[in-house]
């Protein structure tokens, strides 16, 4: 059992380094496109791209509207890195692990909701200026349901661990 635990810890340490490396490459790519090409590549909105190309709209205003998405991506990476650090230290069922699970899940839920609101607002803004786009509120119910289910599972695992700890103390 000790050998397999050590192996899992090493894998988590390696995976943590891989996640850091890939995240660094992705953020470097995003920064490169912003600085060199003048494009924001981390938002998938036709209205955003059309407004970005427009001469009537300030790039700094549009960019500031996307900053919560960028911050959410960074926060998601933080939660994953922190969780893998705990795993590489052998803390697989520690309370901090559940904090990381919950932090990651709630960050993803907030990102999905903000993205929906932002896309709706950008569609409305573009429609108001150019009378050319439909304004549609797209809500990814499947993704929100999955994230909600993950939150429930993480809570149930935490509750089961607390019950197990109480039973160990009782015995």
Share of the chain above pLDDT 90, in %: 48
Residue 1 has pLDDT above 70, yes or no: no
Confidence of residue 18 (pLDDT cuts 50, 70, 90): very high
- The confidence score (pLDDT) of residue 133 equals 61
83 pLDDT more than 80: yes
| Residue with more model confidence, 90 or 34 | 34
Q: What's the pLDDT band for 150 if we cut at 50, 70, 90?
A: confident
- State what percent of residues in the chain have pLDDT above 70: 97
Region 63-91: mean pLDDT is: 94
Q: pLDDT at residue 118 above 90?
A: yes
Beta-carbon-side half-sphere exposure of residue 34 (alpha carbons within 13 Å): 18
What is the rounded average pLDDT for all residues in the chain? Answer: 88
pTM for the model stands at 0.83
Tell me which residue range forms the domain holding 87: 2-170
DSSP string, 16-81: HHHHHHHHHHHHHHHHHHHHTS----S---HHHHHHHH-SSS-HHHHHHHHHHHHHHHHHHHHHHH
Q: 12 pLDDT exceeds 70?
A: yes
pLDDT for the residue numbered 117? 94
Token pair, residue 96, equals: 């901090």
Confidence (pLDDT) at 17: 95
Q: How far apart are CA 48 and CA 105, in angstroms?
A: 26
Q: How many domains does the chain have?
A: 1
- Span of 3-7, 30-34, 128-132, 134-138 with lowest mean pLDDT: 134-138
pLDDT digit string, tens, across residues 38-69: 889 888 888 899 899 988 889 999 999 999 99
């Amino acid at each position: 059992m000790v050998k397999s635990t050590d192996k899992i810890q090493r894998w988590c340490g390696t995976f943590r380094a891989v996640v850091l490396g890939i995240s660094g490459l992705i953020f470097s790519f995003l920064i490169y496109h912003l600085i060199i090409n003048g494009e924001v590549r981390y938002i998938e909105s036709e209205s955003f791209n059309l407004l970005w190309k427009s001469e009537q709209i300030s790039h700094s205003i549009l960019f500031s509207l996307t900053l919560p998405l960028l911050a959410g991506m960074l926060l998601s990476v933080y939660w994953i890195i922190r969780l893998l650090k705990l795993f590489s230290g052998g803390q697989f069922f520690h309370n901090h692990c559940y904090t990381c699970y919950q932090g990651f899940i709630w960050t993803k839920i907030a990102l999905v909701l903000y993205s929906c609101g932002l896309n709706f607002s950008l569609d409305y803004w573009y429609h108001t200026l150019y009378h050319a786009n439909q304004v549609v509120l797209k809500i990814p119910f499947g993704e929100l349901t999955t994230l909600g289910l993950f939150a429930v599972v993480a809570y149930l695992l935490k509750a089961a661990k607390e019950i197990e700890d109480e039973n160990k103390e009782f015995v």
